[in-house]
Amino acid sequence: MVRTVINAIRIIDRLSDRGNLGVTDICNELSMPKSSAHNILETLVRERLLAKDRESNKYSLGIRLVELGNRAQAGLDICRIAHPFLVGLNQATDETIHLTVLDNDEVL
């Protein structure tokens, strides 16, 4: 288990739940040393997984997460297989149709 990777994931999850946060908020909420959090945050910004607002110095989710999510979704066979059925259901009901995936106890 690589602690830095786990902390990076915890930071991304926290920003996903709470929105824009500063380094102090992240450190307090995740009980993480400021130097460690800062290094992880700056690495995630450099890799475009997070974005940093220069005025507020707060961090938010980055565009690369959208790109990765789209690639992951495209790679799921369920999307390709379910598409014609979803289109048919939409046409039959004239309602918006959503396909979700259950991941442990969360709907994605």
Identify whether the C-beta of residue 29 lies closer than 8 Å to the C-beta of residue 6: no
Identify whether the C-beta of residue 23 lies closer than 8 Å to the C-beta of residue 39: no
pLDDT exceeds 80 at position 56: yes
Instruction: Please report the beta strands in the chain, taking only residues with DSSP state E, as ranges in sequence order.
Output: 50-52, 59-61, 102-103, 106-107
Rounded to two decimals, the pTM is 0.71
Look at residue 35 in the predicted model and tell me its pLDDT: 94
pLDDT tens per residue, range 5-38: 999 999 999 999 998 999 999 999 999 999 999 9
Q: Which domains does the chain have, with CATH numbers?
A: 3-63 (1.10.10.10), 76-107 (no CATH)
pLDDT tens per residue, range 40-55: 999 999 999 999 999 9
pLDDT tens per residue, range 66-88: 999 888 877 778 878 899 999 99
| Best CA proximity match to 79, nearest among 108, 46, 37, 48 | 108
User: What residues contact residue 67 under an 8 Å CB cut-off, 6+ apart?
Assistant: none
